[in-house]
């Protein structure tokens, strides 16, 4: 009995199930689309701290998904075992930006479509998704929202500050108000008329205003 006869039923017969050309073409295309996803992610990132490791993981995830789906499509029995094995995998990494979820699904979806042999769909779909993300992610809102934290000493200084603020901005909404002995804290959402933030300087010089803080707010908000 030769070495080939021993492993004939379990290993060597599966070597030629996927051709070298198919594997090379699929992985090269997966790397290309993964790099496209990485570049779009880098271009559209709007968070606080950019993570290069997450961008690299998008490239790796596209290639790994392609590799797994190639193995699954080559053997029905293997596909059942693969589903069972992947069902026990748990990811503990926290997703800080909602848009990151879209990039993860994009990488996985592109890998699946490529391994299924639908190359035009994978390429054309990735180009369209890239264009959509570049247009909408880089679009600036018509009015930039700001949060103003204002500390007033009494009710009179609060009324004076609010009247001044309402004259200087397009929209002013009180988010929270805390009143203590000798101080009143206001958290206001402002829609500025322009990029000029001189109103904070004027507020800080008013009588009865201890200090004023203006911060940009880029989270989810209702228009």
Residue 29 has pLDDT above 60, yes or no: yes
Q: What is the pLDDT of residues 70-105, one digit of tens each?
A: 877 766 555 555 655 555 556 566 666 777 888 888
> Nearest Cα to 79, choosing from 68, 90, 88?
68
Q: What is the mean pLDDT of residues 27-36?
A: 91
Q: 217 falls in which pLDDT band (50, 70, 90)? A: low
Tell me what pLDDT residue 98 has.
74
Domain boundaries, the chain: 3-137, 145-216
pLDDT at residue 124, rounded to an integer:
92
Of the two residues 87 and 42, the one the predictor is more confident about is 42
Rounded Cα–Cα distance for residues 17 and 78 (Å)? 12
More confident site: 91 or 40: 40
Nearest C-alpha neighbor of 73 from the set 17, 28, 15: 17
Q: What is the mean pLDDT of residues 166-181?
A: 83
- List of residues 6+ apart from 108 with CB closer than 8 A: 61, 62, 65
Which residue would you say has higher pLDDT here, 196 or 178?
A: 178
Span 117-128, average pLDDT: 88
- At 144 the pLDDT is 66
For the residues of the chain, what is the DSSP string, one character each? Answer: --HHHHSTTTTGGGTTSS-HHHHHHHHHHHHHHHHHHHHHHHHH--SSS--HHHHHHHHHHHHHHHHHHHHHHH-HHHHHHHHHHHTT--------SHHHHHHHHHHHHHHHHHHTT-HHHHHHHHHHHHHHHHHHHSPPPSS-EEEEEEEESSHHHHHHHHHHHHHHEEEEEEEEEEEETTEEEEEEEEEESSS--HHHHHHHTSTTEEEEEEEE--S----
Q: Write out the CATH class of domain 145-216.
A: alpha beta
**Above pLDDT 90, what percent of the chain?**
5
Write down the pLDDT at residue 31: 92
Question: What is the signed CA dihedral for 160, 165, 167, 169, rounded to 10 degrees?
Answer: 180
């Amino acid at each position: 009995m030769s070495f080939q006869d021993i492993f004939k039923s379990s290993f060597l017969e599966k070597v030629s199930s996927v051709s070298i050309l198919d594997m090379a073409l699929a992985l090269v295309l997966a790397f290309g689309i993964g790099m496209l996803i990485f570049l779009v992610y880098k271009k559209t990132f709007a968070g606080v701290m950019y993570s290069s490791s997450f961008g690299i993981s998008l490239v790796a995830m596209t290639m790994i998904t392609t590799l797994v789906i190639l193995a699954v499509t080559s053997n029905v029995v293997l596909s059942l075992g693969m589903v069972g094995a992947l069902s026990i995998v748990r990811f503990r990494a926290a997703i800080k930006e909602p848009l990151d979820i879209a990039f993860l699904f994009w990488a996985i979806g592109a890998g699946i479509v490529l391994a299924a042999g639908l190359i035009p769909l994978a390429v054309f779909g990735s180009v369209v998704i890239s264009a959509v993300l570049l247009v909408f992610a880089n679009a600036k809102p018509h009015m930039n929202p700001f949060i103003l934290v204002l500390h007033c000493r009494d009710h009179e200084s609060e009324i004076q500050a609010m009247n001044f603020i309402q004259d200087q901005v397009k929209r002013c909404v009180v988010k929270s108000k805390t009143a203590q002995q000798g101080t009143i804290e206001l958290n206001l959402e402002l829609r500025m008329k322009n990029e000029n933030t001189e109103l904070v300087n004027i507020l800080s010089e008013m009588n009865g205003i201890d200090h004023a803080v203006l911060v940009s707010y880029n989270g989810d908000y209702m228009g």
